């Protein structure tokens, strides 16, 4: 449509026409988005908001500042925070009294335990003698009484932990989740966390995920090739077998591995009947069991993208290579496989990312040394109620998966001509 602009026509009318057209285009775009509204609403409710809450929880660190605001202010402002003066003890006792009443004492004690060895006991001991009677005495006496209640108050560790937790938002949990030493000993030295070695847990998570990914690709590639290239009954049967696990729940599949691998299970029976071993092998609760079960569960996710890419490779390509003198193997490696790479990458990526977050299977068939990050997230959430650390671990997991997945998924989308 052309809008002739004649001198008679006021220029505003032409401008109006342009605006109208833009508005119409914007309305069309908006209307095209309408069918996605339920999904967008769903994602906002169940992905964006929980994620925001996780981020907030990971950085929120307000128990100390909430219970002991004045104490914290005094030690942060003082010249030597680690060795506070008598007046700080007086403020501490005042605030502990208030905290007892307002219910902030227990969270404070828990948070102090995260920051310093014996922190919880120190808080509870001091709070026990923080009565009205003590508050009326002079500062030096209060100091002596507090130190008598728990010797940790004499060392710098408690005060350092208090100063470190003085802000309402901090990197405390994130540093902890990344394996940095965030805990002090009573004498002010950094204490290493002997219970949880998070870098080792991340490394274990990545190693298990990599091993599972490599195995699924190695097993899945020939399988996908057969499915993709055989048109008849065999192909249909194989697709059925690949998809079969999808019809049963993850829990059932994992439980069946327990039946398979337990001490008097099917696998041991077979091994003994075959004369390969004389004693039942400890198969369950091992790294072997974890990897085996995960491979079985992940296989469809690896194979399906491969099949879809392989099906799109015309059989005439391999034939052309053969007619040009290539052996079947050479033709496969030089013509078929390079074209299947986007499918392999997509399947591997999907499997790897899903493996990073595996919880149930390692928890049920793995040993204590086979637990992955998700297991510890669950433990801190459900058992220890350390939600800050659980959230921080989740953030590290999400960030790690993103860093690994993004470049690969960009590679896949540029090399698969829009099939994904």
Partner 1 sequence: MLDAAPSDHGHVVLSAITKTYDGRHLVVRDLNLSIRRGEFLTLLGPSGSGKTTTLMMLAGFEYPTTGEIRIDGAPVHMMPPEKRNIGMVFQNYALFPHMTVAENVGYGLKVRRLPRAEIDRRVRAVLETVHLAQLADRRPGMLSGGQQQRVALARALVFEPSIVLMDEPLGALDKKLREHLQFEIRQIAQRFNLTVVYVTHDQYEALTMSDRIAIFNDGKVQQLGSAEDIYARPENRFVAEFVGDNNCLKGRVTETRGERTTLRLADGTQVAARTTGHVVTGGLSTAAIRPEALRMSGQPFEGSLAAKVSDSIFCGDQIRTVVELAGKESLVVKSAAHSAAIHPVKGQTVHVGWAWEDAWALDA
Residue numbers at the binding site for partner 1 (CB under 8 A) = 314, 316-317, 319-328, 330-331, 334-335, 338-339
* CB 317, min distance to partner 1, A: 5
**Of the candidates 272, 305, 325, which has an alpha carbon nearest to the alpha carbon of residue 412?**
305
Task: Mention every residue, 6+ apart, whose C-beta is less than 8 A from residue 146.
Answer: 89, 92, 93, 126, 129, 153
- Which CB sits closer to partner 1, 121 or 326? 326
* CB 322, min distance to partner 1, A: 4
- Which CB sits closer to partner 1, 322 or 419? 322
Task: Mention every residue, 6+ apart, whose C-beta is less than 8 A from residue 300.
Answer: 242, 243, 245, 246
Beta-ladder partners of 166: none
- Which CB sits closer to partner 1, 10 or 315? 315
Question: What is the secondary structure of 324-359 as a DSSP string?
Answer: TT--HHHHIIIIIHHHHHHHHHHHHHHHHHHHHT--
Handedness of CA 357, 359, 361, 367 (dihedral sign): positive
Task: Mention every residue, 6+ apart, whose C-beta is less than 8 A from residue 111.
Answer: 61, 63, 64, 119, 165
- Give the Cα separation of 221 and 306 in Å (integer): 7
* CB 416, min distance to partner 1, A: 12
* CB 419, min distance to partner 1, A: 13
**Tokens 């509870």 belong to which residue?**
124
- Which CB sits closer to partner 1, 21 or 319? 319
* CB 341, min distance to partner 1, A: 9
- Which CB sits closer to partner 1, 175 or 311? 311
- Which CB sits closer to partner 1, 130 or 335? 335
Burial of 189 (0-12, 13-18, 19+ CB in 10 A): middle
- For the chain, the first-to-last Cα distance in angstroms comes to 37
135 and 94 Cβ atoms separated by less than 8 Å: yes
b (16+ CB within 10 A) / e for 398-417: eebbeebbeeebeebeebbe
* CB 115, min distance to partner 1, A: 57
* CB 176, min distance to partner 1, A: 47
**Of the candidates 352, 398, 393, which has an alpha carbon nearest to the alpha carbon of residue 208?**
352
- Give the Cα separation of 107 and 109 in Å (integer): 5
- Which CB sits closer to partner 1, 16 or 334? 334
- Which pair of structure tokens corresponds to residue 134? 């003590």
* CB 336, min distance to partner 1, A: 10
* CB 334, min distance to partner 1, A: 8
- Which CB sits closer to partner 1, 91 or 416? 416
- Which CB sits closer to partner 1, 36 or 324? 324
Query: Containing H/E element for 190?
Result: strand 190-191
* CB 328, min distance to partner 1, A: 8
- Give the Cα separation of 47 and 40 in Å (integer): 10
* CB 333, min distance to partner 1, A: 11
For residue 69, the SS3 value is helix
- Which CB sits closer to partner 1, 10 or 314? 314
- Which pair of structure tokens corresponds to residue 135? 């508050």
- Which CB sits closer to partner 1, 313 or 389? 313
């Amino acid at each position: 449509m052309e809008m002739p602009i004649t001198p008679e026509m006021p220029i505003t009318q032409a401008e109006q026409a342009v605006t109208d057209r833009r508005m119409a285009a914007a309305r069309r775009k908006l209307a095209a988005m309408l069918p996605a509204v339920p999904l967008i609403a769903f994602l906002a409710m169940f992905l964006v908001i929980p994620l925001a809450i996780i981020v907030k929880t990971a950085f929120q660190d307000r128990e100390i500042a909430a219970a002991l605001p004045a104490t914290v202010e005094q030690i942060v402002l003082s010249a030597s925070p680690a060795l506070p003066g008598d007046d700080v003890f007086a403020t501490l006792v005042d605030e502990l009294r208030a905290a007892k009443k307002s219910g902030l004492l227990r969270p404070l004690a828990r948070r102090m335990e995260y920051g310093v060895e014996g922190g919880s006991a120190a808080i509870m001991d001091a709070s026990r003698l923080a009565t009205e009677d003590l508050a009326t005495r002079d500062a030096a006496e209060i100091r002596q009484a507090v130190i008598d209640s728990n010797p940790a108050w004499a060392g710098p560790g408690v005060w350092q932990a208090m100063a470190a937790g003085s802000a309402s938002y901090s990197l405390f949990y994130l540093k902890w989740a990344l394996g940095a030493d965030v805990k002090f000993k009573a004498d002010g030295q950094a204490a290493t966390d002997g219970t949880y070695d998070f870098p080792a847990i991340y490394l274990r998570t990545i190693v298990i995920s990599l091993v599972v990914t490599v195995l699924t690709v190695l097993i899945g590639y020939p399988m996908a090739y057969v499915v993709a290239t055989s048109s008849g009954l065999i192909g249909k049967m194989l697709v059925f077998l690949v998809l079969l696990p999808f019809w049963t729940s993850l829990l059932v599949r994992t439980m069946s591995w327990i039946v398979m691998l337990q001490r008097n299970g099917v696998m041991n029976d077979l091994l003994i009947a075959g004369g390969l071993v004389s004693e039942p092998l400890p198969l369950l609760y091992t790294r072997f069991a974890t990897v085996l079960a995960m491979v079985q569960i992940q296989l469809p996710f690896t194979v399906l993208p491969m099949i879809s890419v392989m099906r799109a490779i015309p059989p005439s390509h391999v034939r052309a290579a053969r007619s040009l003198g290539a052996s079947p193997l050479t033709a496969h490696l030089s013509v078929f496989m390079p074209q299947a790479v986007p499918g392999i990458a997509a399947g591997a990526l999907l499997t790897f990312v899903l493996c990073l977050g595996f919880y149930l299977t390692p928890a049920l068939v793995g040993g204590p040394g086979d637990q992955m990050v998700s297991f510890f997230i669950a433990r801190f959430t459900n058992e220890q109620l350390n939600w800050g650390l659980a959230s921080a671990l989740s953030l590290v997991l999400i960030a790690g998966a993103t860093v690994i997945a993004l470049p690969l998924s960009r590679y896949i989308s540029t090399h698969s001509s829009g099939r994904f």
